[in-house]
Amino acid sequence: MSDPVNDLLGEEEVAIEATLNGRPLKRRVKARQHLADFLRQELELTGTHLGCEHGICGACTVLIDGRTARGCLTLAAQISGKTVDTIEGLTESGKLAELQAEFIARNAAQCGFCSSGMLLTAYELVSSGKMVSRIDIREFISGNMCRCTGYHAIVDAVEAVIVGQGKT
Partner 1 sequence: MSANARSATGIGARIPRRELRRLLSGHGRYIDDIKLPRMLHACFVRSPHPHAQLVSVDVAAAKRAPGVAAVFTAADINLRCEPFVGVALHRPGHRSAPQRLLAAERAVWQGQPVVIVVAESRAEAEDAAELVATEWQPLPAVSDQLRAIAPGAPVIHAELGDNVAFDFSLEKGEPAKAFAEADIIIEEEMRFERQMAMTLETRGLIADFNPGDGSLTVIHAHQSPFQMQEIFSRHLKIPEHKIRVTTPDIGGGFGMKLNTYSDEIATVVASMLLGRPVKFCVDRLESFVSDAQARDHRIKCRIALKNTGEITAMEMDDLSAVGAYGMPLRFNVAEGMMAITITGAPYRFENYKARTRSVYVNKNLIGMYRGVGMPLACIATELLTDLAAEKLGVDTVEFKRRNYWPKASLPCLTPGGQKLESVSFHECLEKLVRLMGYDALRKEQAELRKRGTYRGIGIATFCEQTAYGPPYYGPSGASISTQDGCTLRLEPSGSVRCITSLTDQGQGTLTSVAQIVADSVGVSSEQVSVTGGDSAISPYGGGAWASRGTAIGGEAALRAGTMLKQNILALASAITQTPADALTITDSQVINTRTGQAVISLADVGRIGYFRQDTLPRDFDVQLSVSTSFVASDKMYYMANGVQASYVEIDCETGFIKVLGQWAVDDCGRIINPLLVDEQVRGGIVQGIGGVLFEECIYSDDANLLNGTMADYLIPMSGEMPDIVLDHVETPEASTRLGAKGIGEGGLIGAMGSMWVAVNDALKPLGAKVRHQPFTPERILDALARARISCGQVKAASHKPSA
Cα dihedral: 99, 158, 23, 27 (round 10): 120
CA distance 143 to 121: 9
DSSP codes of every residue in 120-131: HHHHHHHTTT--
Angle at 11 between CA 7 and CA 17, to 5 degrees: 150
Task: Please identify, using beta-carbon distances, which residue of 20 and 96 lies nearer to partner 1.
Answer: 96
Task: Please identify, using beta-carbon distances, which residue of 27 and 138 lies nearer to partner 1.
Answer: 138
Q: Total number of residues binding partner 1 (CB under 8 A)?
A: 60
CA-based Rg of the chain, rounded to a whole angstrom? 17
Near partner 1 by CB under 8 A: residue from 69, 146, 160, 161: 146
Does position 124 interact with partner 1 (CB under 8 A)? The reply is no
Task: Please identify, using beta-carbon distances, which residue of 79 and 114 lies nearer to partner 1.
Answer: 114
76 φ/ψ angles, rounded to the nearest 5 degrees: -55, -40
Q: Determine how β-strand 61-64 pairs with β-strand 23-30.
A: unpaired
Residue type, 26: K
Window 71 to 100, contacts with partner 1 (CB under 8 A): 86-88, 91, 96, 100
Task: Please identify, using beta-carbon distances, which residue of 41 and 128 lies nearer to partner 1.
Answer: 41
Q: How far is the CB of 48 from partner 1 (least distance, A)?
A: 7
Does position 145 interact with partner 1 (CB under 8 A)? The reply is yes
Which residues of the shown chain bind partner 1 in the complex (CB under 8 A)?
1-2, 10, 32-33, 40-41, 45-57, 59, 86-88, 91, 96, 100, 103-107, 109-116, 119, 134, 137-139, 141-155
